[in-house]
Amino acid sequence: MKLFVFACLIAAVVAAPPAASPGGASVIRYDNNIGTGDYSFAYEQDDGTKASANGELKNANSENAYIAVKGNYEYVGPDGVSYNVVYTADETGFHPVITQGAGGVVPEEVIKRLSGQ
């Protein structure tokens, strides 16, 4: 029963259209495939934000059933830096690997030091 409720919750979340972001970005691509126990989805916004995930039912028909998820998302933060998060989620928890790209604003203190002020 718990698995059924969990699967319904995942299906509802995946099937819901992505909400508009506060910055007014528009969704330019949205894909989803909700199977029996397995699912996948992906979306991309015109501001460069992207996300995708695949879930696979493990230990079906047992008390220890769970959905193992592999996914990633990337976005540009308010600091102007790009972030990419690759993750897995399974019976042991959520396991993200976060990488930070180039970009961002150089702090004023650093500019002053470099310019000799």
pLDDT of residue 5: 47
Predicted local confidence at residue 16, as pLDDT: 53
Q: Are 21 and 49 in contact (CB under 8 A)?
A: yes
Tokens of 90: 């399974």
- In this model, does residue 86 exceed pLDDT 90? yes
The predicted pLDDT at position 23 comes to: 64
Whether residue 77 is predicted with pLDDT greater than 90 in this model: the reply is no
Average pLDDT over residues 21-47: 85
Q: In sequence order, what E strands does the chain have?
A: 27-34, 39-45, 50-58, 66-76, 81-90, 93-103
Name the phi and psi angles at 109, rounded to 5: -60, -40
Is there a contact between 89 and 69 (Cβ–Cβ < 8 Å)? yes
**Going by C-beta distance under 8 Å and a sequence separation of 6 or more, which residues neighbour residue 39?**
10, 11, 14, 32, 33, 54, 55
Q: What is the pLDDT of residues 2-18, one digit of tens each?
A: 554 454 455 555 455 55
Q: How many CA atoms lie within 13 A of 68 on its CB side?
A: 8
The pTM of this model reads 0.65
